[in-house]
């Protein structure tokens, strides 16, 4: 099983290094091959919104930078970890920019999912998503917005399973994080008809 950690640590912000090490170690203990992408060190242009990846070069972004590699790594993973500071209830700029560049992985065509219109799958398999957010201190409003965002993105991304955990720097419990990783990693790769 393959796990990909998209580390959205900001250029000048909360460090996620210890969280990343803990996640990686726990995944390896659960028989995952783990790759981490520290997004701030990669060249990702902003998505142009041109949709050429749907109509001119299906499945491939026209921008030739690390975004293409990241999309290939992502779609070939069983488990995708979003690791990010929670910024106004959302992902960091680094992670959001990378996720915007993943639209080639879904089809431009539509179908109904739980009574809503969403894009069809382009590929037969998509990774499960575990989002780990970090706040400076507990903030229930930002936590709830973040949970909703991850859920909506997971539906759009055809993820068979998803989970969101938000931790505060002031009371970060690494054992709770390890337990979450261990439990969720067992779900990765399971089939789901969504």
Q: pLDDT for 68-92, tens place per residue?
A: 999 999 999 999 999 999 999 999 9
| Every domain of the chain and the residues it spans | 2-185
Mean pLDDT of the chain: 93
Chain position carrying tokens 């499960």: 128
Taking 3-state DSSP, the helix, strand and coil percentages for the chain, each rounded to the nearest 5, stand at 40, 25, 35
DSSP 24-44: HHHHHHTT-EEEEEEGGGS--
Q: How high is the pLDDT of residue 9?
A: 95
Distances (CA, A) of 35 to 9, 76, 80, 83, 156: 16, 12, 10, 13, 23
Answer whether residue 133 shows pLDDT above 90: yes
Alpha helices in 38-133 (DSSP H): 52-55, 66-75, 93-100
Q: Topology of 2-185 in CATH?
A: Rossmann fold (3.40.50)
Q: How high is the pLDDT of residue 189?
A: 59
Cβ neighbourhood burial of 5 (10 Å; 0-12, 13-18, 19+): buried
Per-residue pLDDT reduced to its tens digit, 103-119: 999 999 999 988 999 99
User: How many other CB atoms are there within 10 angstroms of residue 64's CB atom?
Assistant: 9
Helix (H) or strand (E) holding 55: helix 52-55
Contact 53, 61 (CB under 8 A): yes
Q: How far does the chain reach from its first CA to its final CA, in angstroms?
A: 21
Q: Which of 193, 186, 192 has its CA nearest to residue 79?
A: 186
Q: How high is the pLDDT of residue 194?
A: 45
Its pTM stands at 0.93
Per-residue pLDDT reduced to its tens digit, 137-187: 999 999 999 999 999 999 999 999 999 999 999 888 999 999 999 999 988
Q: How high is the pLDDT of residue 39?
A: 96
């Amino acid at each position: 099983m393959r796990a990909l950690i998209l580390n959205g640590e900001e250029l000048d912000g909360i460090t996620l290094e210890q969280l990343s090490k803990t996640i990686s170690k726990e995944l390896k203990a659960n028989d995952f091959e783990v790759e981490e992408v520290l997004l701030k060190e990669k060249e990702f242009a902003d998505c142009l919104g041109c949709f050429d990846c749907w109509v001119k070069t299906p499945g491939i972004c026209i921008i030739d930078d690390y975004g293409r590699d990241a999309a290939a790594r992502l779609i070939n993973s069983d488990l995708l970890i979003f690791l990010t500071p929670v910024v106004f209830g959302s992902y960091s700029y680094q992670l959001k920019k990378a996720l915007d560049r993943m639209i080639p992985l879904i089809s431009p065509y539509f179908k109904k999912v739980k009574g809503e219109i969403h894009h069809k799958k382009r590929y037969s398999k998509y990774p499960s998503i575990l989002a780990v957010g970090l706040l400076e201190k507990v903030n229930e409003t930002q936590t709830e917005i973040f949970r909703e965002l991850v859920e909506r993105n997971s539906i759009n991304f055809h993820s068979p399973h998803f989970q969101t955990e938000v931790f505060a720097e002031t009371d970060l419990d690494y054992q709770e994080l390890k337990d979450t990783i261990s439990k969720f990693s067992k779900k990765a790769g399971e089939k789901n008809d969504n």
